A and B are shown apart, each in its own frame.
Chain A
Amino acid sequence: MSRLSHTISRASRWHLLLMPLSLLFLLPLVQMVLASFTSNADINRFPPRFIPSALHIGGYVRLFRDAPVARWMLNSVIVSGTAIVSHLILCSLGGYAYARLSFRGRTVAFVTLVATIMIPTQMLMIPTYFMFSDLGLINTLGAAFVPFLTSAFGVFLMRQFFLSLPKDLEEAGRIDGLTTFGVFFRIVLPLARPALATLAVFTLLNSWNDLLWPLIAINDPSKFTIQLGLINFQGAHHIDWQELMACNVVATAPLILGFLIAQRQFVQTMSMSGIKG
């Protein structure tokens, strides 16, 4: 009995630490959602009211009236969708080449690729801006998704995964008369589903939340991604907290919902990106 109470008290010590901390971490997000349903009169009065007196959806109504939020969301979906599809295809092709195929220049190319991980993106914003402008990507959604078409990290991740697969199945496929492409598409790719899921979440997080590239390359409000729309909207409506928080909720909700549904996959992705480099 004393042993039991001992275990309980030991566990509850952790609760004493974790419970307040978890609530503290959640609090800003809870407040964001609550504020989006609180009328500005309630937000602005003194002392402010944090639990809305009634469910005011005025913020969302004004938001969709004042700004092309639906368009921005659609743009972000297009950008992230393109980035994910392209990432999955190009990184798995590249990863397979560097894991299994032998060809001239393979080592040099792979070392170069891994070395590029060291180059910080922010350092590249000036030349990339002029590159985009030469390629006619300024003020197009292309500026937002081209930097996410593929990534050295993705190629590396897929390569590590393919190296961990046993070769027997591929060799069997060869003997059955499949070409390299056949082996890749019919045998290897179906086995790579877990790695592809990780890569998809990784790309979704990066491309959906990116602000830098749209910021330097897109001025046309109809081409804004939701993140760029959000900060432009902040500039124009910095007094209307309710509307601003509604915009924040709309921009954040997809990933939060995704996280709540597939938390294991998200956490897995984060711990995988911990093994990079």
Chain B
Amino acid sequence: MKHGILISDHDKAEAVTWRRAGRESPPRPGPRQAHDHHDGRVPLSRPGADGRKWTARRRRVVANLTGWSFAAPATLIIVGLTLFPAAWAFLISREHWNGLTPARQIGWDNYRQMLHDPDFKSAVNHTVLFTVLYVPVVLALGMFLAIALNRKIRFIAFYRTALFMPLVVSAAATGILANFVFDQQFGLANNVLRVLHLPRQGFLADRHEAIWVIALIYLWINLAFSVIVYLAALQDIPTECLEAARMDGANRWQQFRHVILPSLAPVTVFVGVWNTISVLQIFELVLTTTHGGPLGASQTIVFFIYNQAFNLSRYGYGSAAAYVLFGATLIISLGLFAYARRSKIEAF
């Protein structure tokens, strides 16, 4: 602080000391200046208390302006593209609106209607089924593959490249490719079955198989993300820990169970939440493979929302479904974090 007063005529250096002092207010005038002020009637041009107060305020204004000119563009765009539409979606969700004629306020009717809508229920069921099929597998396989890839063996670069590459392929391209691979007549999958003398399958065209096949394709695209996150976490485990365990005579399974697994717990919570949220929003892959079919057998919540809004022009109903999805997402992720905190896992 003293230093700050000493060089306070030097604009920039002073700003530095303020920042160093944290978010404190600018230096108060010393006793000499206060005395000066008491004498009163000091012209602003003289380096007196009024002048100081004025420059301090001016500096604060300048700091605010500078700060906001850095922060405002990104902040405004993000708020404008997320919070604003989120609030608007809530208003729409309480309306009956087809986008053309004026909207009619109907309170919670859209939400009530959802409870009795068999289409919505089956969309929820399919989405839950996707989640249950996908999340445990991606966690287990992700961790296992990360451990497998975390070693210096031959071809490791090839293995990593091969396993990570699907990550850069879009949902649209994957969907079209999947249609080809799982095509009933010309597809690779059925040809493998034929060579193995196994019965031909309907895959995406089969009501009972479609969800399984889509979950498998989803795994193909997204497995790498979990593997990469686990790999980064594995590399953060201090080698001394593993060495110490080995010294104490722990076998490979014990090393895994008592050293590796506990260190991966926080990242597992994160990967679990991340994958749950993303699979709850599964949409583009469904759109490009089955289009929700056959006979609605793979319709998911987001596909339901999209269909209600952009095919049937029922924007209010679609928005209500979107809010239900948001609520579910929020509850699940907060629940998992609460669970993690209670079990003393530091997730973030």
Residue ranges of A at the interface with B (Cβ–Cβ < 8 Å): 11, 14-15, 17-19, 21-23, 25-29, 31-32, 35, 43-44, 46-48, 50, 90-91, 93-94, 96-98, 100-106, 109, 112-113, 116, 118-131, 146-147, 149-152, 154-155, 171, 174-175, 177-181, 184, 205, 208-209, 211-212, 215-216, 227-228, 230-231, 234, 241, 244-245, 247-248, 251-252, 255-256, 258-260, 263, 266-267, 270-271, 274, 277
Could you give 16 example pairs across A and B, Cβ below 8 Å?
Answer: A15-B153, A18-B155, A103-B67, A106-B71, A109-B71, A112-B83, A119-B326, A127-B89, A155-B75, A177-B12, A211-B287, A231-B175, A234-B176, A252-B170, A260-B161, A271-B232
Among A98, A260, A274, the most chain B Cβ lie within 10 Å of the Cβ of: A274
Q: In the bound complex, do residue A256 and residue B172 qualify as a contact, i.e. CB atoms below 8 Å apart?
A: no
Tell me whether A101 and B63 are in contact in the complex, defined as CB-CB below 8 angstroms, given that A150-B74, A152-B78, A231-B172 are known contacts.
yes
Distance of A151 Cα from B75 Cα, bound (Å): 9
Which residue of the partner chain, among A21, A120, A209, contacts B163 with CB atoms under 8 Å?
A: A21
Distance of A48 Cα from B145 Cα, bound (Å): 33
Main secondary structure of the interface of A (DSSP, over half): helix
| Least CB distance, A231 to chain B, in whole angstroms | 5
Asked whether B164 is an interface residue with its Cβ less than 8 Å from the other chain, the reply is: yes
Contact bitstring B143-165, A, C-beta under 8 A = 1, else 0? 00100110101110011111111
Distance of A208 Cα from B173 Cα, bound (Å): 12
Contacts of B71 in A (CB 8 A): 93-94, 97-98, 101, 103, 106, 109
Q: In the bound complex, do residue B151 and residue A14 qualify as a contact, i.e. CB atoms below 8 Å apart?
A: yes
Asked whether B177 is an interface residue with its Cβ less than 8 Å from the other chain, the reply is: yes
List CB contacts (< 8 Å) of B223-273 with chain A. Answer: 224-225, 228-229, 231-232, 267, 270-271
Tell me whether A50 and B188 are in contact in the complex, defined as CB-CB below 8 angstroms, given that A29-B165, A150-B78, A177-B12 are known contacts.
yes
Contacts of B161 in A (CB 8 A): 260, 263
Asked whether B48 is an interface residue with its Cβ less than 8 Å from the other chain, the reply is: no
Tell me whether A270 and B229 are in contact in the complex, defined as CB-CB below 8 angstroms, given that A90-B73, A177-B12 are known contacts.
yes
Asked whether B104 is an interface residue with its Cβ less than 8 Å from the other chain, the reply is: no
Q: In the bound complex, do residue A216 and residue B310 qualify as a contact, i.e. CB atoms below 8 Å apart?
A: yes
Asked whether B302 is an interface residue with its Cβ less than 8 Å from the other chain, the reply is: yes
Contacts of A149 in B (CB 8 A): 77
Among residues of A, the one whose C-beta sits closest to the C-beta of B327 is A123
Distance of A69 Cα from B169 Cα, bound (Å): 18
Q: In the bound complex, do residue B148 and residue A14 qualify as a contact, i.e. CB atoms below 8 Å apart?
A: yes
Asked whether B105 is an interface residue with its Cβ less than 8 Å from the other chain, the reply is: no
Asked whether B34 is an interface residue with its Cβ less than 8 Å from the other chain, the reply is: no
Among residues of B, the one whose C-beta sits closest to the C-beta of A44 is B186
Among residues of A, the one whose C-beta sits closest to the C-beta of B171 is A211
Distance of A119 Cα from B177 Cα, bound (Å): 30
Contacts of A259 in B (CB 8 A): 164-165, 167-168
Distance of A104 Cα from B164 Cα, bound (Å): 44
Contact-size category for B? 35 or more
Asked whether B16 is an interface residue with its Cβ less than 8 Å from the other chain, the reply is: yes
Contacts of A216 in B (CB 8 A): 306, 310
Among residues of B, the one whose C-beta sits closest to the C-beta of A11 is B153
Distance of A175 Cα from B10 Cα, bound (Å): 9
Distance of A125 Cα from B77 Cα, bound (Å): 16
Contact bitstring B74-118, A, C-beta under 8 A = 1, else 0? 110111011111101100100000010000000000000000000
Tell me whether A104 and B64 are in contact in the complex, defined as CB-CB below 8 angstroms, given that A15-B155, A127-B88, A248-B177 are known contacts.
yes
| Least CB distance, A187 to chain B, in whole angstroms | 13
Which residue of the partner chain, among B79, B178, B224, B305, contacts A270 with CB atoms under 8 Å?
A: B224
Asked whether B137 is an interface residue with its Cβ less than 8 Å from the other chain, the reply is: no
Tell me whether A251 and B89 are in contact in the complex, defined as CB-CB below 8 angstroms, given that A11-B153, A126-B315 are known contacts.
no
Which residue of the partner chain, among B64, B77, B159, B277, contacts A18 with CB atoms under 8 Å?
A: B159
Distance of A258 Cα from B166 Cα, bound (Å): 13
Q: In the bound complex, do residue B67 and residue A93 qualify as a contact, i.e. CB atoms below 8 Å apart?
A: no
Given contacts A230-B172, A260-B161, 10 further A-B contacts (CB under 8 A): A11-B153, A21-B159, A28-B177, A93-B71, A97-B70, A122-B305, A126-B92, A180-B66, A208-B170, A234-B176
Contacts of A180 in B (CB 8 A): 66, 70
Distance of A141 Cα from B228 Cα, bound (Å): 33
Contacts of B81 in A (CB 8 A): 124, 128, 146-147
Q: In the bound complex, do residue A22 and residue B74 qualify as a contact, i.e. CB atoms below 8 Å apart?
A: no
Tell me whether A274 and B228 are in contact in the complex, defined as CB-CB below 8 angstroms, given that A126-B315, A230-B172 are known contacts.
yes
Distance of A154 Cα from B178 Cα, bound (Å): 32
Which residue of the partner chain, among B191, B302, B329, contacts A48 with CB atoms under 8 Å?
A: B191
